[in-house]
Amino acid sequence: MKPKKSLGQNFLRDTDVLEKIIQSANLKSDDLVIEIGPGEGVLTEKLFKHAGKVLAIELDSALANKLKKQYKDSKKIEIINADILNINLPEILKVETRHCLVSTEEKINYKVVANIPYYITSPIIQLFLETKFPPTEMILMVQKEVAERICARVGQMSILAVSVQYYAKPELLFYVNKKSFFPVPEVDSAVIKISKINNQQIINNKEEVKHFFRIVKAGFSAKRKTLVNNLSASLKLDKKEVEEKLKKIGITPNQRAQELSVEDWKKIAMLIYE
């Protein structure tokens, strides 16, 4: 079978990297794990060995069917032939946890461990950070530059960094050379861990979350402009007024969006709400 570039098919061929991912996931024998894009199933096999139950979601039906055959005798694993961005995640999780003790009404304990298709990295992360039932943690292989952007600190923040760090704590665990894959992709990779996921605010106050991201997007709208210029232009606010408000929380007029922390953005969002 020829790997499909359009589906981001670059299969992991490096057993040391595989071992490191498994170690990072720190799996217990009763863990429920979701894998996105199992592909040829190298990671799937390890997850199967170390976790209590694996749900693997693969879009390519040829690959999914192969895995289904391989695991047809096991109840520990389920291969779902679907687009990860089109599944009903709460429904799948509820079915999975109906008979065991990992769930209560409010919380379902599971991990996401995956070497994902890179062309949908942001939507995948967003899906799991904003769902009603977020995972306890995610161990993800992503493109190196994207890993660095997600885990950036103040000074190098971006909309992507704020969107992840608003809900969770991302960490870059280790880098992976592109030669670890077949076919060899154009970019290097890195494994990140996203933990301490808290998205209660989406359930409690969805409007506030929407407002927060509207402000963040406005602040980042033009790269070379200052924060004050971006905010006032995009939100059609008086520049002097914005300047005054920012001053109140210790932000100087010529600061730039990438220099602000999530906490700063929360303060700005609150001030501009008033």
DSSP characters over 12-30: E--HHHHHHHHHHHT--TT
Among 34, 51, 59, 194, which residue sits at the site for ligand SAH (rule: CB under 6 A)? 59
Cβ nearer to ligand SAH, comparing 42 with 197:
42
- Tell me whether residue 124 or residue 257 sits nearer to ligand SAH (CB atom): 124
Among 63, 125, 138, 151, binds ligand SAH (CB under 6 A): 63
State how far the Cα of 254 lies from the Cα of 247, in Å rounded to an integer.
11
Largest CA distance in the chain: 68
Cα→Cα distances 85→36, 57, 187, Å: 10, 10, 24
Contact call for residue 7 and ligand SAH (CB under 6 A): yes
> How many degrees, rounded to 5, is the angle at CA 147 between CA 86 and CA 59?
25
Q: Within 76-95, which residues bind ligand SAH (CB under 6 A)?
A: 83-85
Q: What is the DSSP string of 22-71?
A: HHHHT--TT-EEEEE--TTSHHHHHHHHHSSEEEEEES-HHHHHHHHHHT
One of 31, 39, 55, 165 touching ligand SAH (CB under 6 A): 39
Of 40-48, 94-102, 160-168, 215-223, the segment contacting ligand SAH by CB under 6 A is 40-48
Binding-site member from 14, 20, 24, 42 for ligand SAH (CB under 6 A): 42
Q: For the segment 18-37, give every residue that binds ligand SAH (CB under 6 A).
A: 36-37
Only segment of 6-14, 217-225, 231-239, 249-257 that touches ligand SAH (CB under 6 A): 6-14
Smallest distance, Å, CB 79 to ligand SAH? 11
Q: Is 60 in the site for ligand SAH (CB under 6 A)?
A: yes
Indicate whether 8 belongs to the interface with ligand SAH (CB under 6 A): yes
Residue number with CB closer to ligand SAH (38 or 135):
38
Residues touching ligand SAH: how many (CB under 6 A)? 24
Pick between residue 117 and residue 219 the one whose CB is nearest to ligand SAH.
117
Q: For 190, phi and psi rounded to 5 degrees?
A: -155, 155
Residues 100-119 that bind ligand SAH (CB under 6 A): 115, 117
Cα(47)–Cα(42) distance, integer angstroms: 9
Interface with ligand SAH, residue 43, by CB under 6 A? yes
Bridge-based pairing of strands 53-58 and 77-81 is parallel
Nearer to ligand SAH, 135 or 219 (CB): 135
Q: How far apart are CB 201 and ligand SAH at their closest, in Å?
A: 27
Q: Which residue has the tokens 């406005």?
A: 218
Minimum CB distance to ligand SAH, residue 63 (Å)? 5
What letters, b where the CB count within 10 A reaches 16 and e where it falls short, cover 30-44?
Answer: ebbbbbbbbbbbbbb
Beta strands in 60-204 (DSSP E): 77-81, 111-115, 137-143, 169-176, 181-182, 189-195
Interface with ligand SAH (CB under 6 A): 7-12, 36-40, 42-43, 57-60, 63, 83-85, 115, 117, 120
